[in-house]
Amino acid sequence: MNISTDVLYLDGVRVATPKEGGISLGRYKTWSENSGRTDEGKAIGTIKYIKTKLEISWDTLTSADIIKIDNIVSNKSKPFVSVKFRGLDGEFKTITAYFGDSVIPITRYKNGKPVISGYKLSTIEQ
């Protein structure tokens, strides 16, 4: 497999390669209940956990690509799935995640059918 195109699997299914610059990797901390500021303004507390969030976007996709992705991210009976992606070291990382909002930009309509200019979604570690 080509490392530049074999980058993303949703629920075990290899999906189209996101656009260049199309994956943003976020790390989000949840602090303990005893976290905050002292009377002197010093930050205190402990981090309970750090979760991963991916913002993923594609350029123009085929209808088959869009349907494949949307069937996974919009499956109400399976809200948590594996998301396998290439991490900062180029190696695959796998998280169990759910999907936030997905956006399908429609550029125009041609012969009554939408011309779709991409797909965007967010996935958050469970």
Number of domains in the chain: 1
Q: What is the pLDDT of residues 10-62, one digit of tens each?
A: 999 999 999 999 999 999 999 999 999 999 999 999 999 999 999 999 997 88
Alpha-carbon gap, residue 32 to 7, rounded angstroms: 34
Residue 91 belongs to a domain: yes
Structural domain of 55 = 8-125
In a domain, 34, yes or no: yes
Q: Enumerate long-range contacts of 86-94, CB under 8 Å, 24 or more apart.
A: 86/3, 86/7, 86/8, 87/25, 88/25, 90/3, 93/52
Q: Which of 120, 92, 90, 94 is nearest to 106 (CA)?
A: 120
Looking at residue 114, its pLDDT comes to 85
Residue 1 forms part of a structural domain: no
* 100 within a domain of the structure (yes/no): yes
Residue 53 maps to which CATH number? 2.40.30
Convert the pLDDT of each residue in 58-97 to its tens digit: 997 888 899 999 999 999 999 999 999 999 999 999 999 9
Pairing of strands 92-103, 23-31: unpaired
3-state secondary structure of 107: strand
Phi and psi (nearest 5°) for 67?
Answer: -65, -40
Whether 63 maps to a domain, the answer reads yes
DSSP state of 35: -
% of residues, the chain, pLDDT over 90: 82
In a domain, 84, yes or no: yes
CB 54 within 8 A of CB 86: no
Element (H, E) at 17: none
Three-class SS state of 23: strand
Assigned domain for 2 exists: no
Q: Is residue 3 part of a domain?
A: no
- pLDDT classification of 115: cutoffs 50, 70, 90: confident
